[in-house]
Amino acid sequence: MSEDHEGVVVHWRPMCPYCMKLRVKLAFTRLRHTRVDIWRDPEAAAFVRSVADGKETVPTVTVAGRALVDPSLRQLRETIEAHAPHLLSRT
């Protein structure tokens, strides 16, 4: 299953400029996360469609099972602080 109910999962696809932008920003943090290419994982693509109004909008990130569609790094950090603060101790 592509969604991780404990950690951070970034659903992305190749050639997506928004995915690359988030990926670069995440590289400057020490936040542990898993990346899932929705073009290689049909279950992940179906999950993204289920939380993005039927579209394959990426990046879609899950934090402790909560989906964020095209979040900013700030939104991602705020969601982690609210729902999975133990993950920030690694950053």
8-22 pLDDT tens trace: 999 999 999 999 999
**Claim: this prediction has a pTM higher than 0.75:** yes
Pairing of strands 60-63, 34-37: unpaired
Residue 65 has pLDDT above 90, yes or no: no
20-51 pLDDT tens trace: 999 999 999 888 899 999 999 999 999 999 99
Using DSSP, state whether 27 is helix, strand or coil. Answer: helix
Q: Distance between CA 49 and CA 45 in Å, rounded?
A: 6
Domains located in the chain, CATH noted: 8-90 (3.40.30.10)
Structure tokens that stand for 42 in this block: 């049909």
> Which pLDDT band, with edges at 50, 70 and 90, does 7 fall under?
confident
